[in-house]
Amino acid sequence: MKKTMKILAGAGAIAASVLTATAAQAADTIKVGVLHSLSGTMAISETTLKDTVLMMIDEQNKKGGLLGKKLEAVVVDPASNWPLFAEKTRELIEKNNVDVIFGCWTSVSRKSVLPVIEELNGMLFYPVQYEGEESSRNVFYTGAAPNQQAIPAVDYLLSKDGGEAKRIVLLGTDYVYPRTTNKILRSYLHSKGIMDADIMENYTPFGHSDWQTIVADVKKFASAGKKTAVVSTINGDANVPFYKELGNQGIKAEDIPVVAFSVGEEELAGLDTKPLVGHLAAWNYFMSVDAPANASFIKTWKTFIKDDKRVTNDPMEATYIGFKMWTQAVEQAGSTDVDAVRQAMYGQTVKNLTGGTAVMNTNHHLSKPVLIGEIQDDGQFDIVWKTDGEVVGDAWSDFLPESAKLTADWTFPWVCGNCEKPLYAAQ
């Protein structure tokens, strides 16, 4: 019995030492979670963002890491499965002990992650344009809010330079981002004198492939004699057959211009762009921007990815900015502790890739320029319009009555995500 007890005690000591060694080894690195779909309908867009995070980690490690430690990527594949995003988030935080997560593309994936990231007090950097109407102390939104993309794009379509559209078609994938964005846009269009009779709205599921009838309906809607334009919030690989059908039915940009919010250089890389020349996209960055910082970023990207034909796009820039701000905040805080890093994030600045400066505001949104580009036959964009400077992102839209009265300010002692007045946070 005593011999057995000694054996068990020895085994326990060995196990404890193994656990201690494992914990010490884990403490030697700072773990970065990468939460992007590498399969399924959204892989066409998200795989590149996974590679972008890996590139940023590689660059940071070449500089000596962070706080004297190397950064370690922990990559998972939620596979365009929205509930799986939540499961993978829990796995990253509880099992893999990541210090931060960069991930999600669709708003439905972010909404799936949100309760988990808040419950476990994690930190998510979300790098894609979205519908706003959300404010979380655990999320930094480095993509565009509607006032940094959707509303300026509609303003352009209504302007003389954009063709003075009088009828608007709202085409979107059937989930929260397109529906909420179009709810905001419908209200905004009303404020501009365009009524419901001159607005067509249609939604299709993820991965939708048969666009013949819908495109024909757009042509019919546009035949009323008023200048018509399409605002597209179609996401993922459904864009490929959509744009092909535009070409099949002879819809040209000068007749019915399409401005897209989810189509960039990466999506165009898989298309014959010649029939699409002149159609538009609204982003905060284009690969074609002539700026030294952009030239350096493109060179670094192509070297890292070992493919001179690979393109860059807006969500990559948003990932780049978010990652740089996070590393700066960690260094300022002297820790990867989420609460400490959150406070250090406010006011962080990073030179963006278009020649300006990105600022993280206390509502967890960036100040960003807005650019509108025309598709060229080489799959790049010719910038036809841009704001004079950076626009501060709004968490809550001024064009929805229930949101116009809300504010978001997460600085201490004024801590507020969705209240009418900042609330004092007692110590």
pLDDT of residue 14: 45
Task: Work out the pLDDT band at 308, boundaries 50, 70, 90.
Answer: very high
Residue written as token pair 């650019």? 371
On the CB side of 52, CA atoms within 13 Å amount to 28
Q: CA of 422: how far to CAs of 121, 412, 415, 419, in Å?
A: 22, 10, 6, 7
**CA–CA gap between residue 216 and residue 230 (Å, rounded):** 13
**CA–CA gap between residue 400 and residue 402 (Å, rounded):** 6
pLDDT digits (tens, 9 = 90+) for 69-98: 999 999 999 999 999 999 999 999 999 999
pLDDT of residue 85: 98
pLDDT at 189 over 60: yes
Residue ranges and CATH numbers for the domains of the chain are 26-144+312-367 (3.40.50.2300), 148-291+373-401 (3.40.50.2300)
Least confident piece of the model among 19-23, 356-360, 381-385, 401-405: 19-23
pLDDT of residue 269: 87
Question: Which whole number is the average pLDDT over 224-241?
Answer: 94
**CA–CA gap between residue 116 and residue 304 (Å, rounded):** 33
The token pair at 49 is: 């963002």
Residue written as token pair 């284009």? 286
Q: In a 10 Å sphere around its CB, with 0-12 CB exposed, 13-18 middle and 19+ buried, how is residue 416 labelled?
A: buried
pLDDT digits (tens, 9 = 90+) for 110-168: 999 999 999 999 999 999 999 999 999 999 999 999 999 999 999 999 999 999 999 99
pLDDT of residue 257: 97
Tell me which of 411 and 160 has the higher pLDDT.
160
**CA–CA gap between residue 207 and residue 173 (Å, rounded):** 9
What number of other Cβ atoms are within 10 A of residue 293's Cβ? 17
On the CB side of 93, CA atoms within 13 Å amount to 21
Question: Which whole number is the average pLDDT over 323-341?
Answer: 98
Contact (Cβ atoms closer than 8 angstroms) between residue 304 and residue 259: no
Question: Which whole number is the average pLDDT over 169-185?
Answer: 97
**CA–CA gap between residue 195 and residue 210 (Å, rounded):** 29
Nearest of 178, 185, 181, 182 to residue 204 by alpha carbon: 178
**CA–CA gap between residue 321 and residue 31 (Å, rounded):** 19
Amino acid of residue 54: L
What number of other Cβ atoms are within 10 A of residue 407's Cβ? 17
Question: Which whole number is the average pLDDT over 9-36?
Answer: 62
pLDDT at 348 over 50: yes
pLDDT at 423 over 60: no
Tell me which of 4 and 347 has the higher pLDDT.
347
Contact (Cβ atoms closer than 8 angstroms) between residue 371 and residue 286: yes
pLDDT of residue 5: 41
pLDDT of residue 20: 40
Amino acid of residue 108: V
pLDDT of residue 272: 84
**CA–CA gap between residue 282 and residue 293 (Å, rounded):** 21
pLDDT of residue 19: 42
pLDDT digits (tens, 9 = 90+) for 249-305: 999 999 999 999 999 998 888 788 888 899 999 999 999 999 999 999 999 999 999
**CA–CA gap between residue 69 and residue 60 (Å, rounded):** 10
Contact (Cβ atoms closer than 8 angstroms) between residue 141 and residue 130: yes
pTM: 0.89
pLDDT of residue 414: 73
pLDDT at 15 over 50: no
- For residues 157, 105, 44 and 319, what is the CA-based torsion angle, rounded to 10 degrees? 90
pLDDT of residue 236: 87
pLDDT of residue 26: 47
